[in-house]
């Protein structure tokens, strides 16, 4: 299942020495003083859009504005039907390109077909959309709202921003926010002039964001200043030369210094830096000497149920590249209903060893069982400050660090900036400031974001950094559950649900030691006592001797990723590796339906499966071959990407699932275009899902003899009709 946004904090850099300040005093010399106030509305699934909206609100005062901020779900607190102030939207995307849950009611309201085309003709707005290009329908939550507002007559006063979490939201978010202030200034000036009421305000401000995003105009003067402020090198100072890009022998320098998490190389190490503004502190944390040793797991108030793991099977051979494990959960006592295609959220804790190391590093090991009291700082400058809901009052410190905070998350630039202020060593502080600066963006991406560096890794790399506990509570996001697709049907396994996962492994690298994925590694350790190889039976003497391992789960129904209601509709399923999981549930369901309704008509079922080696990681091989043998599965099409060619030396042997799709292009096209069948894709978003989508475009383009643009429209139509469905992750 795809993961959605998690709670983070974003800040933008302060004004540089060459930028003009737009202060309250200068603003109030404008014709209409009351125009200084604008509205921020956000739609957030897991806190990311909210954090960015709150940062815009916080920065507004520094630029002479007053901002009101509301979640789109709080419709009683705002009224766009009569709103004359500029409005700034920050909208995330979830699911298969859907608006977040907090925006659903708003979207339904503005999609009302009875609204006139000029319903929002009075409205001037800007919109920042958040998404991830690893998934289909990039930024579609924001795009949906944006296009509908335009249809109803609303006008842009600033270009829409589309931020990509796949490459780093800050790449777009930071310059978009920087350009927002000039756009607002122009908008207020225009709105205060009566003879410009009919002017399309977007004309005068659309370029602002694009100039900022490219960095070619907004930062030109900054770059000139930075180059002039570079320190003189010891060798060049006698000649009176500053180090510039022209004077550095990069090839020679690279043999001496190599950039890493701990150190930079010129030009960065010699540059003046544009760093983010220091985030305002807003929490006060106290530790009470009250024993809380009884706490072990979160409460079930969020719909979680504690269930037993009745079976654990390793599906791959020991020498396979990845280890895949299938779990069977006993949900009979909880009476949890699900359909094939649904998923289950699983609560997992942070590693006990990492929590202990963090406590030791913060010098709080002796206070781990103390009760935590969290309050808002009375004099904080942070607007709309709230105590994070995921931090319980009176929970023990160890409990909060284990179950509530994502200590494995990569620290955002705002957090790195705050950590720098609690770093004693000047060289270490300088490096942290570089990592969060505009100039150090490439290093941040390479050594923090892409390297999956976490807080502990930074504290290991910078030993003089001693942050207070409150800083962690302000910046670490909520520990999110992990979602896994059901790999079973309750018709075939009543009272049980199966799911399968690969144990994710992160090899050792300079930035961090070797480790496994937070949830997959924990689950593998958790079931080690009952784990058995494929094809073996658990020894009888081990049964009943100890309590089975347990987990906390919550059903996560899918709105659309289900078999067609009409069983005669043909289906094509594409699921390499563990992406086959939901289709095992589909086929178990279809097998039981065929047994119960032998006179009914059932459509063809095609499964395209792929793995590395036929004899090492062909998941569910026996079950799939049984489905193919008894007719439940009409066509089982497999490929093995790492196996050597057979003795016959097969030419152009299909390597990946998309290659087999191409080989069966006529059948796939006929099912989708003539028979009105459905296509399901499950698995990796970054590579497989994109390649399958590209192949589908080629298949449809060739079949209908149309160009790529028209093929894209046809595929979009399949999505709209819910006949092209994806369950993908990155």
- Three-state DSSP class for residue 637: strand
Question: Euclidean distance between the first and final Cα of the chain, in Å?
Answer: 9
For tokens 């030419």, what's the residue?
Answer: 651
CATH code of the domain in which 46 resides: 3.40.50.360
Report the distance separating Cα 664 and Cα 218, nearest Å: 52
Peptide bond into 429 cis (omega under 30): no
Which strand (E) or helix (H) includes residue 471?
helix 469-475
Of 315 and 194, more confident: 315
Query: pLDDT band at 569, cuts 50/70/90?
Result: very high
- Three-state DSSP class for residue 607: strand
12 pLDDT more than 50: no
Range 19-25 average pLDDT:
33
Report the distance separating Cα 440 and Cα 431, nearest Å: 9
22 pLDDT more than 50: no
**Residue 541, domain member (yes or no):** no
214 pLDDT more than 60: no
Report the distance separating Cα 145 and Cα 129, nearest Å: 10
Q: Are the C-beta atoms of 235 and 224 separated by less than 8 Å?
A: no
Query: pLDDT band at 485, cuts 50/70/90?
Result: very high
**Predicted confidence (pLDDT) per residue in 394-445, tens digit:** 999 999 999 999 999 999 999 999 999 999 999 999 999 999 999 999 999 9
The dihedral formed by the CA atoms of 585, 591, 597 and 603, expressed in degrees to the nearest 10: 80
Pick from 228, 317, 378, 341: which is nearest to 580 by CA?
A: 341
Range 584-597 average pLDDT:
97
pLDDT for res 291 = 65
pLDDT for res 644 = 82
Q: Looking at beta carbons, which pairs linking 97-101 to residues 24 or more positions away fall under 8 Å?
A: 97/135, 97/136, 97/137, 97/138, 97/140, 97/141, 98/140, 98/141, 99/43, 99/141, 99/142, 99/144, 99/145, 100/4, 100/5, 100/43, 100/44, 100/45, 100/49, 100/141, 101/45
161 pLDDT more than 50: yes
Domain boundary among 137, 159, 190: 190
- H-state helical runs in 370-425: 397-403, 413-420
Range 443-464 average pLDDT:
96
pTM of the complete model: 0.79
- H-state helical runs in 234-300: 250-254
Range 59-87 average pLDDT:
92
Q: Are the C-beta atoms of 145 and 99 separated by less than 8 Å?
A: yes
Pick from 80, 161, 158: which is nearest to 121 by CA?
A: 80
pLDDT for res 434 = 97
Range 169-195 average pLDDT:
85
Here the tokens at position 280 are 């305002």
- H-state helical runs in 6-133: 24-27, 48-60, 101-110
Instruction: Say how far residue 182 (Cα) sits from the centre of its chain.
Output: 30
**Residue 305, domain member (yes or no):** no
pLDDT > 70: what percent of the chain? 83
Here the tokens at position 634 are 């009409």
Here the tokens at position 128 are 């920042």
pLDDT for res 135 = 79
**Residue 430, domain member (yes or no):** no
Domain boundary among 168, 190, 212: 190
- Three-state DSSP class for residue 295: coil
468 pLDDT more than 50: yes
Q: Cα-atom radius of gyration of the chain, to the nearest Å? A: 28
Measured at the CA of 23, the angle between CA 19 and CA 25, to 5 degrees, comes to 140
**Residue 723, domain member (yes or no):** yes
Domain boundary among 190, 222, 251: 190
Q: Are the C-beta atoms of 488 and 588 separated by less than 8 Å?
A: yes
pLDDT for res 216 = 38
**Predicted confidence (pLDDT) per residue in 499-544, tens digit:** 999 999 999 999 999 999 999 999 999 999 999 997 775 544 444 5
- For helices 708-720 and 690-704, give the axis angle rounded to 10 degrees: 110
387 pLDDT more than 70: yes
Report the distance separating Cα 125 and Cα 202, nearest Å: 9
- Three-state DSSP class for residue 225: helix
Q: Would you give the DSSP letter of residue 547?
A: P
**Residue 432, domain member (yes or no):** no
**Residue 643, domain member (yes or no):** yes
Report the greatest alpha carbon distance in the chain.
Answer: 94
**Predicted confidence (pLDDT) per residue in 344-363, tens digit:** 999 999 999 999 999 999 99
Mean pLDDT (the chain) is 85
**Predicted confidence (pLDDT) per residue in 228-286, tens digit:** 222 223 333 333 333 333 444 444 444 457 999 999 999 999 999 999 889 999 999 99
- Out of 23-27, 224-228, 310-314, 651-655, least confident range: 224-228
DSSP character string of 426-463: HHHHHHHHHHHSSTTHHHHIIIIITTT--HHHHHHH-T
**Residue 320, domain member (yes or no):** no
CB-facing half-sphere around the CA of 318: CA atoms within 13 A: 3
pLDDT for res 645 = 74
**Residue 681, domain member (yes or no):** yes
Which strand (E) or helix (H) includes residue 358?
helix 352-361
* Bridge partners (DSSP) listed for residue 70: 41
Query: pLDDT band at 667, cuts 50/70/90?
Result: very high
**Predicted confidence (pLDDT) per residue in 124-153, tens digit:** 999 999 998 877 788 999 999 999 999 999
447 pLDDT more than 90: yes
Sign, CA torsion 665/671/674/677 = negative
Domain count, the chain: 2
- Three-state DSSP class for residue 610: strand
- How buried is residue 194: exposed, middle or buried, by Cβ count under 10 Å (0-12/13-18/19+)? exposed
Task: Show the domain range for 591.
Answer: 571-728
CATH code of the domain in which 586 resides: 3.40.50.80
Range 334-341 average pLDDT:
93
């Amino acid at each position: 299942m795809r993961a959605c946004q998690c709670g983070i904090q974003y800040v933008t850099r302060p004004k540089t020495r060459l930028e003009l300040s737009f202060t309250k005093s200068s603003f109030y010399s404008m014709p209409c003083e009351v125009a200084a106030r604008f509205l921020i509305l956000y739609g957030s699934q897991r806190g990311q859009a909210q954090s960015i909206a709150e940062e815009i609100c916080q920065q507004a005062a520094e630029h002479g504005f007053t901002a009101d901020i509301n979640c789109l779900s709080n419709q009683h607190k705002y009224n766009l039907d009569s709103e004359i102030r500029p409005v700034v939207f920050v909208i995330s995307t979830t699911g298969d390109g859907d608006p977040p849950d907090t925006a659903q009611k708003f979207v339904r309201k503005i999609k009302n077909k009875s609204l006139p085309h000029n319903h929002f003709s009075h409205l001037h707005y800007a919109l920042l959309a958040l998404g991830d290009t690893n998934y289909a329908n990039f930024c579609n939550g924001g795009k949906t709202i944006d296009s509908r507002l335009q249809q109803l007559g609303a006008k842009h006063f600033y270009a829409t921003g589309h931020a990509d979490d796949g490459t780093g939201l800050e790449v777009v978010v930071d310059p978009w926010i920087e350009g927002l202030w000039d756009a607002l200034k122009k908008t207020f000036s225009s709105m205060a002039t009566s003879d410009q009421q009919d002017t399309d305000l977007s004309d005068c401000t659309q370029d602002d964001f694009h100039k900022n995003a490219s960095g070619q105009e907004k930062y030109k003067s900054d770059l000139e200043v930075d180059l002039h402020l570079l320190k003189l090198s010891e060798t060049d100072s006698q000649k009176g030369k500053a180090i510039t890009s022209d004077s550095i022998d990069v090839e020679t320098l690279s043999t001496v210094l190599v950039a890493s998490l701990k150190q930079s190389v010129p030009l960065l190490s010699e540059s003046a830096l544009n760093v983010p503004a220091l985030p305002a502190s807003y929490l006060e944390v106290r530790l009470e000497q009250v024993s809380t040793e009884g706490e072990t797991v979160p409460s079930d108030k969020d719909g979680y149920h504690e269930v037993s793991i009745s079976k654990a099977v390793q599906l791959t051979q020991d020498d396979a590249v990845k280890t895949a494990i299938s779990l069977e959960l006993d949900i009979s006592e909880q009476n949890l209903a699900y359909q094939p295609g649904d998923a289950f959220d699983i609560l997992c804790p942070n590693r006990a060893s990492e929590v202990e190391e963090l406590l030791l590093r913060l010098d709080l090991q002796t206070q781990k069982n103390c009760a935590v009291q969290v309050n808002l700082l009375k004099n904080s400058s942070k607007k709309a400050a709230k105590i994070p809901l995921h931090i319980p009052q009176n929970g023990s410190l160890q409990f909060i660090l284990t179950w509530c905070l994502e200590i494995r998350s990569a620290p955002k630039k705002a957090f790195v900036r705050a950590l720098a202020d609690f770093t004693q060593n000047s060289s270490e502080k300088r490096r942290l400031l570089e990592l969060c600066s505009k100039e150090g963006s490439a290093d941040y991406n390479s050594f923090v974001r892409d390297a999956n560096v976490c807080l502990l890794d930074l504290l290991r790399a910078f030993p003089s950094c001693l942050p207070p506990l409150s800083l962690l509570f302000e910046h670490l996001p909520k520990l999110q559950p992990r979602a896994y697709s059901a790999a079973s049907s309750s018709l075939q396994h009543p009272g049980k649900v199966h799911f399968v996962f690969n144990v994710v492994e992160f090899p050792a690298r300079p930035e961090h030691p070797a480790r496994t994925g937070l949830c997959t590694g924990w689950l593998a350790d958790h079931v080690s006592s009952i784990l058995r190889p494929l094809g073996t039976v658990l020894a009888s003497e081990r049964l009943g001797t100890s309590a089975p391992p347990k987990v906390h789960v919550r059903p996560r129904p899918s709105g659309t990723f289900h078999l067609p209601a009409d069983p005669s509709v043909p289906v094509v399923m594409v699921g390499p590796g563990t992406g086959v999981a939901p289709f095992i549930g589909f086929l178990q369901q279809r097998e039981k339906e065929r047994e119960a309704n032998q006179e009914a008509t059932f459509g063809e079922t095609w499964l395209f499966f792929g793995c590395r080696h036929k004899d090492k990681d062909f998941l569910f091989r026996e079950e799939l071959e049984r489905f193919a043998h008894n007719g439940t599965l009409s066509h089982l099409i497999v490929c093995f990407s790492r196996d050597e060619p057979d003795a016959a030396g097969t030419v152009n042997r299909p390597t990946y699932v998309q290659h087999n799709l191409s080989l069966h292009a006529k059948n796939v096209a006929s099912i989708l275009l003539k028979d009105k069948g459905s296509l399901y894709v499950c698995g990796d978003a970054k590579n497989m899902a994109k390649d399958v989508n590209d192949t589908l475009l080629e298949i449809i383009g060739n079949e209908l003899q149309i160009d790529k643009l028209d093929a894209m429209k046809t595929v979009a139509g399949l999505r709209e009709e819910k006949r092209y469905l994806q369950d993908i992750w990155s």
